[in-house]
Homo-oligomer: A and B are copies of this chain.
C-alpha cells in the first residue's frame, strides 16, 4: 500500500486516536460530519455530485465526438484520476513534469503537459519516465525557437537520441504563452519538423483567459482564436509537419470549453483526436465556474450541467462581539484567490441537519487560520459550536490545501476518501 494512501494523524483533520487506514477503508469508522466526528476545518467532497460531474463531462465530450484529458493539476488526486480514466477519459493533462507522477500512480498512459518544458532537470525526469515505460505517451507544449534550442542543447549535452512528442501552442496577444502570429507558428513548426529531439503531434491553445462570462463576447473571442488555430493547423498539415498516425487538437479550460469544441473536429489528412482539458468540472464550484456554466447551459440549450461537489466545513470558535463570528478556517484551508468563501448553509450546534444560511452571513476576511464571518446582529446569530458550510470559488486552490478529503453521502457520512499529491 502506498504510504501516501494510508491515512493517519499526519493528515490534516484525521483524528489522532483513529487507527491508520487506507482511503478505501475509511467508511468503517462511520464518521459523520453532523456528529462532529472530524475536526474543523474539513474540506469534503460530496459523492453524488462528484459522480454526476464525472458522468456529465464524459457524456458532454462523447456526444460531441471528442475526447477528454482532464487537467490533473486541479485535484492532484490519484483516486479521482482513476475515476476519470475509468469513466472514459482519453488521458490526463498536467502542468508540470512533477505532476505526471500522480497520473502514473492512477495508470494514465496518455499525458499532455499543457506547458512548456524547458529546463534540464525536467527534461532529465521526463526522459527517465519515457525510457522506463515504453507504453507511456507524453506531449508537452512548444512555443518558441528558444525553447527548441534549450531542448536540443540538453539532448546534445546528455547525448540523448530521444524524440519528445510535442504540441505547438497557439497563443493570444496580451495573454500567456503561445505563438502570437501565423508566421511564428509556421516557422516554429518547421523547426520542430527538422529537430532530432522533437516530434510535432498537434496543435494546442488555451482559451480560458478570454472568458468574460458574457456569451456574445466570449463566443466572438474564442471564435477568432479557433479560426487562427484552424489556419495554422491546416498549414502545418499541408506542409507535412505533423508526425505519427493522428493529429491532436487540444483546447479547453473549465470556463468556456463548449466554444472550442467545433475547432477540435477539423478534417485533416490524418485522423484527428480532439482533446478537451477541463479540470475544474470534477468538483465544480459555487461562484466563478458556476457562473460560467450557466452560460454554457444557455449556449448548449441544457437545463442543468455541473453541480458543486466540494465544500468546506468550519466551526464557530468565538463570537467576540455583535456581528462578528470567528471560524476555524483560514488561508491554509480554502480558496481565496478569485473570491472569498461563500457561506451557503449552517448546521446549528448539536443538530444533525443543515439549513440555508441567512443572506447577510458573509465572510469578510481570512487570516492564515481564521475566517471572519460578519452578520446582522439579532436573534439569528451564529453561536460557538455551530458548523458553517462554505462554498468555494476555484477548486484548484482549495484542493492544494489538503493532503486528503473525506467523501461523504447526502447524510454527511464519510463513505470514502481521496488523497492528493501536491
**Interface residue ranges, A against B (CB under 8 Å):** 3-4, 9-10, 12-13, 15-17, 36-40, 73, 95-98, 101, 115-116, 118-122, 124-126, 128-129, 143-144, 146-147, 149-150, 171, 173-174, 176-180, 315-321, 326, 328, 331-332, 336-337, 367-370, 372, 383-385, 396-397, 400-401, 403, 421-422
A-B contact pairs, 28 of them (CB 8 A): A9-B101, A13-B98, A17-B128, A36-B120, A39-B121, A40-B119, A115-B369, A116-B317, A116-B318, A116-B326, A116-B328, A118-B328, A118-B385, A143-B318, A144-B320, A144-B384, A146-B319, A146-B385, A149-B384, A171-B320, A174-B321, A177-B326, A177-B370, A331-B396, A331-B397, A332-B396, A336-B337, A401-B422
A39-B125 contact in complex given A116-B317, A383-B146, A397-B368, C-beta closer than 8 Å = yes
CB neighbours (8 Å) of A337 from chain B are 331, 336
A394 to chain B, nearest CB (A): 9
Complex partner residue of A400 from B9, B180, B319, B401, CB under 8 angstroms = B401
Q: Which residue of B lies closest to A314 (CB)?
A: B119
Q: Which residue of B lies closest to A173 (CB)?
A: B321
- Please determine whether B4 and A369 come into contact, CB atoms closer than 8 angstroms: no
- Please determine whether B400 and A332 come into contact, CB atoms closer than 8 angstroms: yes
CB neighbours (8 Å) of A12 from chain B are 98, 422
Complex partner residue of A119 from B171, B315, B326, B370, CB under 8 angstroms = B315
A115-B317 contact in complex given A368-B73, A368-B95, A397-B331, C-beta closer than 8 Å = yes
